[in-house]
């Protein structure tokens, strides 16, 4: 059911600046960027190669674009310090995975998946269910 770690997310006040650092210092590539008003963030997907290959793990740079976003709250609680924020597992069928996880007592944040990066369907396991780690589930659009 789980394919791979789709991305690890880094929350910071300025995702653009963080992406620039990865490009200039590590030679990474910007794969995708978008503003997600539902999540209140700017997100930039970075990868070690210019083309995303199946199963490649990305780094997602996120920064708040709204003061009320959960990412703004997270940064505030972290005294403005950037750091690792969540990891995301790529899944084939988020509805089936969610149902199984719920059966097993895992707390998911949303009743139904919401729209994430590139139109993916996403949900999150609460950090209390993820042993202290916020875990995202992400399903790519089926073509
Ligand atoms: N990683 C680990 N633990 C976290 C956490 C994180 N990113 N964010 C919060 N927590 C912990 C807190 O430390 C706190 O623990 P204690 O109760 O032990 O102190 C607890 O969770 C509650 O935290 P809070 O600061 O009171 O925050 P909220 O309950 O208001 O919100 C959460 C927490 C997870 C529900 C909220 O951040 C959320 O809805 N996240 C999902 C959406 C999201 O992260 N969007 C950005 C990324 C979008 C994307 O990747 O596409
Ligand atoms: Co994410």
> What is the average pLDDT value for the chain, to the nearest integer?
97
Query: In the chain, how many domains are there?
Result: 1
Span from the CA of 32 to the centroid of ligand 2 (angstroms): 13
- Structural contact between residues 142 and 94, judged by C-beta atoms closer than 8 angstroms: no
Q: pLDDT at position 67, please?
A: 96
Q: What is the CATH number of the domain that holds 59?
A: 3.10.180.10
Q: pLDDT at position 6, please?
A: 97
Active site (annotated) includes residue 86: yes
- Structural contact between residues 55 and 3, judged by C-beta atoms closer than 8 angstroms: yes
Active site (annotated) includes residue 60: yes
84-105 residue pLDDT tens: 999 999 999 999 999 999 999 9
* Nearest Cα to Cα of residue 60 among 40, 75, 44, 42: 44
Rounded CA-CA distance 52/12 in Å is: 24
Q: What is the CB < 6 Å shell around ligand 1?
A: 9, 39, 41, 43, 60, 62, 70-71, 73-74, 77, 85-86, 109, 116-117, 122, 124, 127, 132-134, 136
Average confidence (pLDDT) over 120-136: 98
Given a cut of 80, whether residue 143 has pLDDT beyond it is: no
Q: pLDDT at position 54, please?
A: 86
Q: pLDDT at position 2, please?
A: 86
Full residue range of the structural domain in which residue 83 is found: 2-139
Q: How far is CA 57 from the centre of its chain?
A: 11
Given a cut of 90, whether residue 60 has pLDDT beyond it is: yes
């Amino acid at each position: 059911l789980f394919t791979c770690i789709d991305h690890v997310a880094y929350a910071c006040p300025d995702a653009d600046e963080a992406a620039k650092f990865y490009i200039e210092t590590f030679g990474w590539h910007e794969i995708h960027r978008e503003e997600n008003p539902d999540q209140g963030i700017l997100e930039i997907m970075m990868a070690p190669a210019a083309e995303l290959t199946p199963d490649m793990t990305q780094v997602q740079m996120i920064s708040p674009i709204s003061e009320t976003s959960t990412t703004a709250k997270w940064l505030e609680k972290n005294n403005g310090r950037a750091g690792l924020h969540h990891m995301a597992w790529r899944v084939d069928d988020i509805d089936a995975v969610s149902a199984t996880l719920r059966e097993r007592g895992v707390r998911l944040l949303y009743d139904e998946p919401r729209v994430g990066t590139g139109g993916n369907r996403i949900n999150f396991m609460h950090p209390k269910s993820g042993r202290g780690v916020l875990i995202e589930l992400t399903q790519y659009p089926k073509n």
